[in-house]
Amino acid sequence: MQYRTLGRTGIKVSPYALGALMFATSVGNPDPGDSARIIHKALDAGINLIDTADAYGDSEEVVGKALKGRRDNVVLATKVSRPMGDDPNQQGTSRRWIVTAVENSLRRLRTDHIDLYQVHRPDPATDVEETLSAFSDLIRSGKVRAIGTSSMPASDIVEAQWVAERRGLARFHTEQPPYSLLNRGAEREVLPVVQRHGMGTLVWGPLGQGLLTGRVRKGRRNELRRAGFFKHLNDERRLDTVERFIALAEEAGLPLTHLAMAFAITHPGVTSAIAGPRTMSHLDDLLAGIDVALTDDLLDRIDAIVPPGTDVGTLDQAYVPPALQQPSLRRRPAGERTAA
């Protein structure tokens, strides 16, 4: 395993990371013991980064129990900001919620510190200075080692870096954008920005939330339907593109999963790609392709299918800015719409 440095933190992480969403018993593997065996095998193979979140059901608890006796060998990442109940203050990135949420995560993970604490999704309602101030205090207290974001627009990343410098606060060390053969939008602004600021990048969705496993084909979508993924399975553009990648992978003599994961870690701005195996066979397939490297010719052919910086449809969990969700934010009041 050739480890990479996570931005400027000095922390060494494996190019493949273990995503823990599928260890939640409510949405993934219903057997915590089996999930623990998957975690242990991944660690034995050299994967040392595990990424979870407080909003992933009981995933933090499953991971925490599985890491008993092995915690010191793991770079443990979790997240905050998604709703954790009906209370409107049990979400977001206010200091009030962060100081509560981190204690809850520490308890569930059975640890006294989190190596990477991330904002799960941007919180436009909270000033980034408030968030960075709370995170800075957590770093000083020793409860958190490094901080990061997930799915943050490039402009917000730049603003956060500026605020940290001007206010003398800890800066975000990492970003976690969606990135795959199907979703290359991060190449346009996000990856260049994180490279410019020396941040580490953990990309999520490198297997397209299941579409790039080769198990989902036109007319044969039942397996992932049962797993709970719906919307993106009905996007014909994505399905058509997957078929082209399946043909390319077969021509190259590679399983589609190996092509997809190798592509995700080829970009110089990507530190690690997060894959979330649900079963031991899924992990075995992931590990079998860990040494795959793509040639320039193969990368050129990938570019011809999905041009750099473009997306084919969107992932179900992609961040949508408020201005795209709320018409009032992009429309002047009716009385102000004329030039007169």
CA–chain centroid gap for 229, Å, is: 17
- Cα–Cα distance between 39 and 283 in angstroms, integer? 9
CB 59 within 8 A of CB 23: yes
Nearest to 210 by CA among 202, 221, 201: 221
Longest dimension (CA), the chain: 72
Beta strand 4-5 pairing with 75-80: unpaired
| DSSP secondary structure letters along 308-331 | TT-BSS--TT----HHHH-GGGSS
Is 117 marked active-site? Answer: no
Segment holding 131, helix H or strand E = helix 128-141
Give the C-alpha separation, 34 to 27, whole Å. 14
Spatial separation of the C-alpha atoms in residues 162 and 168, rounded to whole Å: 10
Catalytic residue among 16, 56, 117, 179: 56
Radius of gyration (Cα) for the chain, nearest Å? 20
User: Could you give the residue numbers annotated as active site?
Assistant: 56
